[in-house]
Amino acid sequence: MHWNILAQKLTNNDSKPNSGDPWLDWRHRSKLIKEHILNENADIIGVCELDCRYNYARFLDQQKNNEGRAAQKDLVKYMEQLGYACCIAERRKGNHATAIFFKKNKFHVLM
């Protein structure tokens, strides 16, 4: 399964004017994302536009940075509770990341 979940740091009414406020709120959106992930029960899930832990782009305000960090932490914690491990690649010149979640009982990382 692969999904662009829309980085919370990128949600503002200027860049996504037709989305509607509830869809820009992580608390609302995350419930739907988590429900879909649970229903699909995929072995491997690729996620793009996962928020970065840090503001590499340096153009977002502190509130958006805090929202983004909280969104990433929330999703990773949820996935871990479901038995997934993850590998996250953060863009150093951007503000969102790509992640791969995989079921720990089926796969492991070779390095």
pLDDT of 102 reads 97
Q: What is the mean pLDDT of residues 59-83?
A: 86
Domain membership of residue 65 (yes or no) is yes
Mean pLDDT of the chain: 84
Q: What is the rounded distance in angstroms from the CA atom of residue 12 to the CA atom of residue 111? A: 38
Residue 97 lies in a domain: yes
Residue 56 scores a pLDDT above 80: no
Q: Which amino acid is at 79?
A: M
The domain of 57 spans 2-103
pLDDT in tens, 15-52: 555 556 677 788 888 999 999 999 999 999 999 988 88
76, part of any domain? yes
Look up the pTM and report it.
0.83
**47 part of a folded domain:** yes
Distance CA 65, CA 111 (A): 31
User: Is 111 part of any domain?
Assistant: no
Per the CB < 8 A criterion, the answer to whether 56 and 95 are in contact is yes
Q: Is the pLDDT of residue 108 over 60?
A: yes
Asked if residue 108 belongs to a domain, the reply is no
For residues 31 and 26, give the distance between their C-alpha atoms in angstroms, rounded to a whole number: 8
Q: Does residue 109 lie within any of the structural domains?
A: no
When divided into structural domains, the chain yields a total of 1
Q: Is residue 37 part of a domain?
A: yes
**pLDDT of 83:** 97
